[in-house]
Amino acid sequence: MSPAAAAAVENLSAAPARPASAGSRTERLLQRFHEIRDFTTMLSAHLAPEDCVVQSMPDVSPTKWHLAHTTWFFETFILKKWLSGYQPEVPEYAFLFNSYYNAAGDMHRRDLRGLISRPTVDETRRYRSSIDSHIDDLLSGADDRLLDEIEPVLVLGFHHEQQHQELLVTDIKHVLAQNPLHPVFRQVERGRADIGKAAPAPVSFVEFDEAIVAIGHEGAEFSYDNEGPRHRALVLPFALASRPSTNGEYIAFMEDNAYARAEFWLSLGWTTVNEQRWQAPLYWEKRDGKWWNFTLSGFRPVDESEPVTHLSYFEADAFANWSGARLPTEFEWERAAQDLSWDGNFVESERFHPQGATPSAGGSLQQMFGDVWEWTRSSYSPYPGYHAEPGALGEYNGKFMCNQYVLRGGSCATSRTHIRATYRNFFQPEKRWQFNGIRLARDPR
Ligand SMILES: [Fe+2]
């Protein structure tokens, strides 16, 4: 965290001293709780209140809404259930800040979140502090039996908040990108912006033999329900690109007039690209014959060495066709990632932008984690034997298993402690505002 951000966090979280906890388990849970809550505060610390209320499209939520909704999650699923005598200070927040949990009650319309000027940003921050201190009280007074009940939901709340941290970053990028003044979210410190400026090694393909592979999460560590049950899958021989495709490679696709050549596009993609008049990735603009792009550090020339991002599934698929390749399945991707460490350019680096591949890359898989989510050609579907749990928290993943594609690996806006080899992200194929990119795959030659 930069010194300025740290100071801002200190000011914003200048709450009364946290209560001493009763034991190491409580201490560990509360420490993690506050680390995650403070990171959200840090991400929003440099924004003006005016930045925090804009909704630039229905998919985007205002920063203020993310701050409140993540708080609502802890209030609704923990305090209301386990804190005896708990009375919400503002009962109407249950309606305003519910996202999609039908079993938790009615909710405000998603596409109208930008019209809500009250509570103010300050009131929303006070709401966060109030709920945080109730969580402090609840956990500090809980015995092991009660902690056994609370901990799984609390940990789900941690990961839920990390998902919203990523959305906060991608949503504020979309908000700021609408402004012709090109506001800067965070100036990347001098020197760090130059990482990865050298030309990446040419892409190579790593080959994998046919195998029956164990797919899905196993073990006591946290995972989402959509990562299970673990099961066997037949993965035929394939080859996977050594690194994500770059801006330079994507410019070659554009310069080959590929956005106007139907032969590379899925039918729905061709319709979409023409209706939307897409000519380049989201946030790109041509000025005096050169491509520029809007980043969270401002508007700047496109760096050809960086992984290309802000692409729809349709564009990723068309690029793969143009390249004589295809997108990997999620099973191929998981097989390739199973033994790799989860290192990469994540949100904790505070770079907020994908990083160029290292020149030495080649012959092995680089940047599988972090930088850009990688579109797979797998529809987001339940694994064999999957059943969503009953109740509101069962709505978390299962009801979205229709008309979406799986992405793997995390991005520069994902937390390092949020990603796994089995993690399944998912978006509709036309969505472009996330840090979504491409890793090519091939069948054996
Ligand atoms: Fe949520």
pLDDT tens across 69-121, in order? 999 999 999 999 999 999 999 999 999 999 999 889 999 999 999 999 999 99
User: What's the 322 CA to ligand 1 centre distance in angstroms?
Assistant: 37
pLDDT-derived band of residue 15, with 50, 70 and 90 as boundaries? very low
- Spatial CA neighbour of 305 closest among 201, 408, 204: 201
Cα separation, 132 vs 31, in Å, equals 12
Q: What was the pLDDT predicted at 199?
A: 76
The residue type at 344: G
Lowest mean pLDDT among 40-44, 161-165, 360-364: 360-364
Average pLDDT of the chain, as a whole number: 92
pLDDT-derived band of residue 23, with 50, 70 and 90 as boundaries? low
Residue 192 pLDDT > 60: no
Phi-psi map region of 370: left, alpha, beta (phi>0 left; psi -120 to 50 alpha): left
- Spatial CA neighbour of 59 closest among 345, 432, 401, 358: 432
Residue 4 pLDDT > 50: no
Lowest mean pLDDT among 17-31, 187-201, 336-350, 369-383: 187-201
Q: What was the pLDDT predicted at 301?
A: 97
Q: What was the pLDDT predicted at 251?
A: 98
The helix/strand/coil state of 241 is strand
Instruction: Kindly provide the b/e burial profile for residues 238-268, where b requires at least 16 CB atoms within 10 angstroms of the residue's own CB.
Output: bbbbbbbbbbbbbbebbeeebbeeeebbeee
Q: What percent of the chain clears pLDDT 90, i.e. is strictly above it?
A: 86
User: What's the 342 CA to ligand 1 centre distance in angstroms?
Assistant: 24
Beta strand 238-241 with 441-442: parallel, antiparallel or unpaired? antiparallel
> What are the pLDDT digits (tens) for 253-311?
999 999 999 999 999 999 999 999 999 999 999 999 999 999 999 999 999 999 999 99
- The contacts of residue 320 (CB under 8 Å, 6+ apart) are 326, 327, 438, 440, 441
Residue located via tokens 């070659």 = 252
> What are the pLDDT digits (tens) for 234-268?
999 999 999 999 999 999 999 999 999 999 999 99
User: What's the 351 CA to ligand 1 centre distance in angstroms?
Assistant: 24
Per the DSSP assignment, residues forming a β-bridge with 298 are: 295
Cα separation, 171 vs 61, in Å, equals 6
User: What's the 72 CA to ligand 1 centre distance in angstroms?
Assistant: 9
Yes or no: say if 213 and 235 are a contact pair by the CB < 8 Å rule: yes
Yes or no: say if 90 and 79 are a contact pair by the CB < 8 Å rule: no
Residue 189 pLDDT > 70: no
Residue 11 pLDDT > 50: no
User: What's the 103 CA to ligand 1 centre distance in angstroms?
Assistant: 14
> What are the pLDDT digits (tens) for 395-412?
889 999 999 999 999 999
DSSP 129: H
Cα separation, 216 vs 233, in Å, equals 10
pLDDT-derived band of residue 188, with 50, 70 and 90 as boundaries? confident
User: What's the 414 CA to ligand 1 centre distance in angstroms?
Assistant: 15
User: What's the 149 CA to ligand 1 centre distance in angstroms?
Assistant: 21
Residue located via tokens 């319709």 = 271
pTM for the model: 0.93
Structure tokens at 158: 């941690």
- Spatial CA neighbour of 427 closest among 391, 403, 392: 403
User: What's the 165 CA to ligand 1 centre distance in angstroms?
Assistant: 10
Q: What percent of the chain clears pLDDT 70, i.e. is strictly above it?
A: 91
Cα separation, 128 vs 37, in Å, equals 9
Q: What was the pLDDT predicted at 360?
A: 58
